[in-house]
Amino acid sequence: MSDTDALREVARRLRAATRVMALTGAGISAESGVPTFRGPDGLWRNFRATDLATPGAFARDPALVWEWYRWRRSRIRDARPNPGHLVLARFERRWPALTLATQNVDGLHTQAGSRRLLELHGNIWRARCAARCGRTVIQDVDGAAAPGTAPDAGVPLCACGGWMRPDIVWFGEALDDGILSRTLDEAAASDALLVVGTSSVVYPAAALPGLARQHGAMIVEVNVEDTPLTGAADFVLRGPAGEVLPALEALL
Ligand code: BJW
Ligand code: ZN
């Protein structure tokens, strides 16, 4: 099937769908200038995930982990939603029950206007108490940090005196129970799942297409390259999300 035929067929089937869901990954924000994780320009090319995105890394060197997140925030701060984010936000008007599950922590879907959003891996603009007193803060600035030359200098402090940490799900950590169970329920109930800009290697997000398919959903992958999902998708729309999604919207 040619790319144009696939696009038309996906549009035809979407017109008949009532429960549409989307799952996004770093690729949808690439065209907004936010680096992806894997691949030639990916964040993990220059940094080892285990050095930075695990609870063990934070326990060993919280200052290094915060330095990395401050740098990430500086890359994201001026980023704006691109046409891919905006199309998914407009899809909520067409399908009011549409759920958007994102692995991204950059907040660009919210900026684009998506409201039925499930942030599976947290949000880079939130911090929470690592000492588990329960405080969570929206932290656009970096807050009060441990003073002086102590090893934890630069680590924001909670009002309880403990360290704050980015409110992000690191490797080996469980996703929020409520968010995960809503996501699984939505995937099982959907007629169509659009899987946009993810390498489909990180679980449990990578299990959602299989779950949706078992319950009869059409799986559509939007990506610039093959992933482990490609062979199992019903349709593959090859190209940048910021071009493919507007082209799809135009056919609806
Ligand atoms: C474009 C494009 C354009 C580019 N247009 N496309 C089952 C099997 C095996 C392993 C596990 C398993 N279950 C759990 C695990 C372990 C682990 C895991 O999955 N490991 C795998 C790597 C094997 N999972 C976990 O640890 C998860 N926790 C968990 O399951 O806990 C269980 C538990 C239960 C009870 C108690 C305790 C534990 C947590 C996973 C958290 C992931 N966190 C990260 C890092 C956060 C750090 C941060 O952001 O600061 O989240 S990992 C990183 O990968 C980040 C992303 O959200 C995630 C997914 O990456 P994504 O979005 O797919 O990006 P890329 O870069 O990989 O891909 C980009 C794609 O876009 C590419 O395909 C490009 O081609 C494409 N693209 N430009 C369209 N313009
Ligand atoms: Zn605290």
pLDDT 10s digits, 164-204? 999 999 999 999 999 999 999 999 999 999 999 999 999 99
- Residue-level pLDDT at 144: 63
CB-defined site of ligand 1, < 6 Å: 25-27, 30-31, 36-39, 42, 53, 103, 105, 121, 168-174, 197-199, 201-204, 222-225, 227, 240-241
Mean pLDDT computed over 73-87: 95
Nearest to 27 by CA among 240, 234, 184: 240
List strand residue ranges (DSSP E) for the chain, in order. Answer: 20-24, 99-102, 117-119, 122-129, 136-138, 164-168, 192-196, 218-223, 235-238
CATH number of domain containing 13: 3.40.50.1220
Q: Are residues 149 and 68 part of one domain?
A: yes
Q: Does 50 score more than 80 pLDDT? A: no
Q: Are residues 159 and 139 part of one domain?
A: yes
Per residue in 121-175, pLDDT (tens digit) is: 999 999 999 997 988 888 765 566 666 666 677 898 888 989 999 999 999 999 9
- Residue-level pLDDT at 137: 87
Cβ atoms of 42 and 1 closer than 8 Å: no
Give the closest ligand to the alpha carbon of residue 241: 1
Q: Are residues 137 and 223 part of one domain?
A: no
Give the closest ligand to the alpha carbon of residue 157: 2
Q: Please tell me the pTM assigned to this model.
A: 0.95
Domain extent, residue 138, equals 35-78+122-168
User: What total of structural domains would you count in the chain?
Assistant: 2
Q: How many Å lie between the centroid of ligand 1 and the Cα of residue 94?
A: 29
Q: How many Å lie between the centroid of ligand 1 and the Cα of residue 103?
A: 7
49 pLDDT band (50/70/90 cuts)?
A: confident
| CA gap 106, 75 in Å, rounded | 10
Cis status of the peptide bond prior to 40, with omega within 30 of 0: no
